[in-house]
C-alpha cells in the first residue's frame, strides 16, 4: 500500500531583524565570538545559506547590530534644554543599553562607527556641545573626548565580569568587587586597602557620572 505523501511543514519565517535578534542573543550568552553564521542559522532553524540571503558575512551582521543599537539610542528623546543634562542623559542611555548587551560592547570598540546611525549620534552630540557655546572645532574635539570616556568606562565595566553573559545587577557586582578587594594586604598596599569602598564602586553609576561630570566641567573652562 502506497503511503500518502507528507505535507511539508510551514516554512520558518526569516527576516533581517530575526537574524540580528539571534546574533545578539548568542553574544549575550557566550560573547561576541559566538555569533557565527552557522550558530545563528542553527538558532533560527534554517540553513546558513538562508542567513547569507540577508548578510554577506559575520562582519556585516556585527555592523548592522551596532547600527541597530545606536538607532535605538537615537530614537530616544531628549529635551533639547540644558546641554549638560542632555549629554548625561545620552551617556546614561548608551551605558544602559550596552550593559544590557555586554556581548555587543566589543563591536563598538573594534570597528569603524561610520554608518548612518553612528553619524547621526555624532551629529546629535555635536549639536548639544554647540549649545554649550563651543566653536565647531572645539565641539568636534569634545565629542570625541566624551565618547572615549563613555565607551571606555563601559568597556572596563563589562570587562570586570570574567565570564560571558548578562551582567548581574549593579549592587551585586559592586558587592562582589568589595569582597574580592577585602583581601588586599594593607601592609603592602596601604592606599589601595584604604580606598576599597571607593574602588569597588568604580563599575557603578555613581563613578560613571562622577567621571563624566569632570569631563564636562573641563569643556567650557579655559581656552578652546
Residue 62: give the domain boundaries. 16-164
Q: Is residue 154 in a domain?
A: yes
Q: Is residue 170 in a domain?
A: no
pLDDT at 183: 92
Q: Is residue 87 in a domain?
A: yes
Q: Tens digits of per-residue pLDDT, 6-46?
A: 444 344 579 999 999 999 999 988 888 889 999 999 999 99
Q: Is residue 175 in a domain?
A: no
Q: Is residue 179 in a domain?
A: no
* Other beta carbons within 10 Å of 171: 9
Closest alpha carbon to 213 in 124, 89, 84, 108: 84
Count of structural domains, the chain? 1
Q: Tens digits of per-residue pLDDT, 128-146?
A: 999 999 999 999 999 999 9
Check residues 190 and 78 and name the one with the higher pLDDT.
190
d(CA 220, CA 134) in angstroms, rounded, equals 7
Which pTM value belongs to this model?
0.87
- For residue 137, what is the domain's CATH number? 1.10.357.10
Instruction: Kindly tell me if the per-residue pLDDT of 147 is higher than 60.
Output: yes
The residues near 87 (Cβ < 8 Å, ≥ 6 apart) are: 125, 128, 129, 146, 212, 216
Amino acid at each position: 500500500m502506497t503511503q500518502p505523501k507528507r505535507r511539508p511543514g510551514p516554512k520558518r519565517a526569516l527576516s533581517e531583524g530575526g537574524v540580528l535578534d539571534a546574533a545578539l542573543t548568542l553574544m549575550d550568552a557566550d560573547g561576541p565570538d559566538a555569533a557565527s553564521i552557522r550558530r545563528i542559522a542553527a538558532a533560527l532553524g534554517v540553513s546558513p545559506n538562508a542567513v547569507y540571503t540577508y548578510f554577506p558575512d559575520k562582519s556585516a551582521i556585527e555592523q548592522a547590530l551596532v547600527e541597530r543599537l545606536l538607532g535605538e539610542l537615537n530614537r530616544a528623546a531628549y529635551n533639547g534644554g540644558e546641554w549638560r543634562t542632555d549629554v548625561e542623559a545620552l551617556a546614561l542611555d548608551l551605558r544602559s543599553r550596552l550593559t544590557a548587551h555586554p556581548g555587543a560592547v566589543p563591536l563598538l570598540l573594534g570597528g569603524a562607527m561610520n554608518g548612518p546611525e553612528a553619524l547621526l549620534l555624532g551629529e546629535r552630540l555635536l549639536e548639544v556641545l554647540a549649545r554649550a557655546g563651543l566653536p565647531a572645532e572645539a565641539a568636534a574635539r569634545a565629542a570625541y573626548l566624551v565618547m572615549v570616556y563613555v565607551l571606555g568606562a563601559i568597556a572596563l565595566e563589562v570587562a570586570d565580569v570574567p565570564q560571558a553573559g548578562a551582567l548581574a545587577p549593579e549592587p551585586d557586582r559592586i558587592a562582589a568587587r568589595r569582597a574580592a578587594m577585602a583581601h588586599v594586604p594593607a601592609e603592602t598596599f596601604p592606599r589601595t586597602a584604604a580606598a576599597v569602598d571607593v574602588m569597588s564602586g568604580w563599575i557603578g553609576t555613581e563613578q560613571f557620572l562622577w567621571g563624566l561630570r569632570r569631563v564636562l566641567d573641563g569643556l567650557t573652562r579655559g581656552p578652546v
